[in-house]
Structure 1
Amino acid sequence: MRQLGAVDAIEIAPAVAADTAFDEAGRIVLAHLEGTLDIDLDLARYPALQIVAASAGDSARHALRSTLANALLAPLVQRFQAAGLGRWRVASVERTPAGVASGERFDVALLHEGVVHRLSIGASGATLDVLHKRLAALPSRHATETFALASPICVAGSIALGARRVPLAALQSLRPGDVVLRAFAPSVAQALSGGTAFTARATWGATATGMRRIHARVVIDGTQVTVEEKPIMNEEPLQAEWPDTLPGDGEALQETEAAAPDETSEIDAHSNWQHDTEDAPLDIGLLDLPVQFEIDSVALPLAQLAALRPGYVIELAAPVLDTPVRLVTHGQTVGYGEIVCVGEHLGVRITRMAYAGDSDR
């Protein structure tokens, strides 16, 4: 006997006879991508199924009968899925004459809510292989879920508010008190300024390359973070939207136009550069680095991470505007700051840089 999902106990044994004797034999046929599963049972114990069961040899399809059968057996299909046995649908419910059983069958007795259900189950080889693999994986799966429920381990989380490109030389020159503008997408900046809700991306897990982490699209409203879409798990880093690739970013456009020389000067400069710098080393300071502006989310226990679903609400310790910001590039934290308002724009004022000397921190 063993527990299986919502079923209190289940016992499976090879059928001892060619067919199991039932007062009123019936069969539920469940369909899966890999094949079908036949469940023989005593219809006399299930009056509702007696009504929808098709007579032996009745090949006519009745839409109403099929609809009723699917409605009646929806809990069974849902429990199959909840137990980790895959997605199934009800193909038919029919009456079966004695002696029609064929192939290898198994007698099953299961206990659910104090009621014992006795069944005879048969399936094709491919379907049996699927069930065998899923049943074999259940002990480790349930052990993992049990560990997660009891584990005190909390997994740190991050929320990406924005990102922009910063040349290495400019990044190295940042000191406490400096302000980085164009850190957020226009929609995020407007929401932060107006105190309205906005969407962002959040992740929980290690930041090291190659490590699996949980990703979720969230809506932030004050101190509430609501999961908007079903979380996924992969090895991708946390990524925010880039404000300087979005339309309507007037500040980015103005900065580009102010820095752009006229066409003639650009051609002359390019020609001189070719002659004068053929043997010169690369100016690594011109290398653009993707700098992301992140805040720490709430560290969640494993049990809560396993329960993340659309609509799940997490409470931040403080509003976003009052939360310290981390400057992250290529997965490494290079500085810290705070969100400030400069005129009509939001920016990040540096409070500490990771590489600065003690006098500059």
Structure 2
Amino acid sequence: MTAAQPWSDDVVLDVTALSVAFPADEGVVRAVSDLSYRARLGRTLAIVGESGSGKSVASMAVLGLHDPSRTRITGSIRLDGHELVGAPEWVLQSVRSTHAAMVFQDPLSALHPLHRVGAQIAEAYRAHHEVSRATAQRRAVEMLDRVGIPNPDRRAKQFPHEFSGGMRQRAMIALGLVNNPRLLIADEPTTALDVTVQAQILDLVRDLQQEFGSAVILITHDLAVVAETADDLLVMYAGRAVEQGDAKAVLARPSHPYTAGLLQSLLSPSEELTELRTIPGAPPSLLAIPPGCSFHPRCPFADRVGAPCQTVLPGWRPAPGLVNRHLRCHLTDPVVAIQETGGLR
């Protein structure tokens, strides 16, 4: 996509030309291709896209959570200046939790069912600090209290199944932040929660970010959440970035047909649901990504460009007429095309 940029003090994570592939009996699953982005202190970067777009795979690569014997990773991942691609396991272990942590989509699966919640948080703290069990347990209780869990001393002695869904997610956030990492990756942290609890969790993440000054990467498919919480937005499709820019600016004026399609599928509170608006077709298999622009089989503007859409991969370039916006599209001026048609209708 783009060459590595000069390092800046507020940059926590610098991902450059990252590709992640999984060899399989049927072929090679190209989950992420040539992906570049940065996460900065005090800002929230939202990564959005349909299921299978590569959002979670890319973020798991940051923490070295893929099995190296079954994964091919190329490019560069620099976390606080540490190059992680090709780094030995001891280096990855040293940066997990201290430099970056991840809050997973399903806390019931991420937390060990046979260990008490407080003990799990204390263990993560002791892994990076030479302290006694009692000191680590006090730290665990402190973190449970900080994320808003009532009676934290009693709750620390309970098992994950004794927590509600919202409380388990709060416990996962406490586990992620126990070592004060500069980067927190939240992978669909509100998917299984009701609307009220979703809002509470998002408010909690925002408050903790302000307190710790950390960078946050929010992986989500919910554009309403993006509008409320994100500073920057990265849109992915079939393993590639297709649009990137200021979150509010992108949502107000999308410059890629895929982003416009995602926004079109949202129902305004003032609208009556007469027909569900969707992007036609389905995302491609990552075993057989279409040549050219991977979105062209579903794009209503492909006929305007013709053969290049089907044969030539569009380059990563500045969006015409927009500040600090990049996209991957063959249209000369995609913003005008989208506005002329009112989106993908």
After TM superposition, is the score higher than 0.5? no
Greater fraction of residues in helix: 2
TM-score (norm 1): 0.22
Q: Write 1 or 2 for the structure with the bigger share of strand.
A: 1
